[in-house]
Amino acid sequence: MRAKQHALTEGSIWKAMLFFAMPLFLGNVFQQLYNTFDAWCVGNYIGDDALAAVSSSGSLIFMMVSFFNGLAMGAGVVIAKTFGAKQYGSMSKAIHTAIAFGLVTGLVLTVAGVALTPTILKWMGTPAEVLPQSITYFRYYFFGAIFVVMYNIFVGILHAVGDSKHPLYYLILSTFVNIVLDMLFVAVLGFGVGSAAIATTISQGLSALLCLRLLLRVDAPYRVNIRQIRFNKESLAQIIRYGLPSGVQNSVISLANVFVQTNINSFGKAAMAGCGSYSKLEGFAFLPVTCFSQALSTFVGQNLGAKQHSRVKKGVAFGVVCSCLMAELIGGLSYLFAPKLIGLFSETAEAIAFGTAHMRTICLFYFLLSFSHCIAGVMRGAGKATVPMITMLICWCVVRVTYISVAVRFVNRLTTVSWAYPLTWALSSIIFLIYFLKADWIHTFDKEEQKA
């Protein structure tokens, strides 16, 4: 199978960015449909207790998976940089090292997730009436964690070389498989909440296998050879150097969000169901943020590898503006239609009220989240992942947890917890803006590469 070249280092900047970002956007839509359809299916066919079980601890999944996904980002930066510089030998070593790394970490995540799920759910204060179903759902989910890790590794490789279309095709197929299996297991056969996780695992495994099949057959410098899958010391060091800050950042921020969820759990299962429903909708709302952040990392990595500094600056300006505008448009629509959107998941008036209040407190500030994520993506693409790590750990972890710990003591309302997000997004945006405008980050990148 002969592949087209997907370099982002030539041609129109806005076309290159949009043509790469649009499949990312659509792919993220279908990725989000996985857990969203799980929530819809169990909420409508089993009930609010099952919906709370699936929704209340979504931050648990993100906490366990995000560290390894951050390391996958580091692999993507190394591959994009070597691809842009046409250093195909180094690129091949990085690709095979990333796959070996994914296999090991995927197995670790699977074992840890299955073993630690009950302990973490109890630590989060999950109510006793939904705890058994929560344990069942997340344990079945983590049995397929290796597929999640390997899928992200494979997609990171394809994105790094500019191919965002094939992952989209595979996601569309696997999403429809997930929907069919959810309806079969839950609605028709009545297997219960655990079967929704099984459906998701099967679908994610299909996506990972299709990506691997492409990488094994493609006629391009990034082709994978099973016999070459091993650790290369130099490539592994670069992957860890670029990816470890992102992994630490993601996992610690996720831990902070687990703390937020623990406070939401204290308001009861109606709040859990309502806010859990919002979290599924939030995943869709954040799609412009995610796709432009990923596109900027690849665009910056390839063009810095090719020493096209002027092109980098123009591409960054275009990507940040587009992402913020799209995020705010979605935020405005979310505010207007909040009750109807939450009502898609639950018919309980109390749950809809909690979810609506939570959504309307947060959604008008999506542009701040977008700006922070885009600049973080630019920094990762430039090989400076430590900058967003420190900024986000301070703002989205330390400040967020401190604010909730203090504020809830004085005003014990759900909206007090909800305000933790826009306030910390604003703080990180201010810091990122100051750094981005003052720091000569492109030439700093060049100097670090020369030292290396």
List, for residues 182-221, the tens digit of each pLDDT value: 888 887 887 877 788 888 889 889 999 999 999 999 988 8
Torsion of CA 417, 419, 422, 423, to 10 degrees: -100
Number of separate domains in the chain: 1
Specify which residues 2 forms β-bridges with: 219
201 in a structural domain: yes
Query: What would the two tokens of residue 178 be?
Result: 């997930």
Query: What would the two tokens of residue 280 be?
Result: 């599924």
Angle subtended by helix axes 88-123 and 233-265, to nearest 10: 30
pLDDT score, position 61: 66
pLDDT score, position 224: 92
Rounded-to-integer distance, Cα 220 and Cα 83, Å: 11
Tell me the HSE value of 203 on the side-chain side, using a 13 A CA sphere. Answer: 27
3-state class (DSSP) for residue 2: strand
Domain of 327, in residue numbers: 13-451
59 in a structural domain: yes
Q: Label residue 413 left, alpha or beta by phi (over 0 means left) and psi (-120 to 50 means alpha).
A: beta
User: Which residue, 312, 317, 318, 319, is CA-closest to 442?
Assistant: 312
pLDDT score, position 53: 66
Cβ pair 93, 234 in contact under 8 A: yes
180 in a structural domain: yes
User: Which residue, 278, 203, 259, is CA-closest to 60?
Assistant: 259
3-state class (DSSP) for residue 219: strand
DSSP one-letter code for 185? I
8 in a structural domain: no
How many Cβ atoms are within 10 Å of 57's Cβ, its own excluded? 28
pLDDT score, position 2: 47
The per-residue DSSP string of 108-122 comes to HHHHHHHHHHHHHHH
- How distant, in Å, are the alpha carbons of 4, 62, 154, 211, 295 from that of 170? 18, 22, 12, 7, 19
Residue 219 has phi, psi (to 5 degrees) of -95, 80
239 in a structural domain: yes
Report, as ranges of residue numbers, the positions in the chain whose pLDDT lies below 70.
1-7, 31-36, 38, 48, 52-65, 124, 254, 439-452
67 in a structural domain: yes
Residue type, 257: N
5 in a structural domain: no
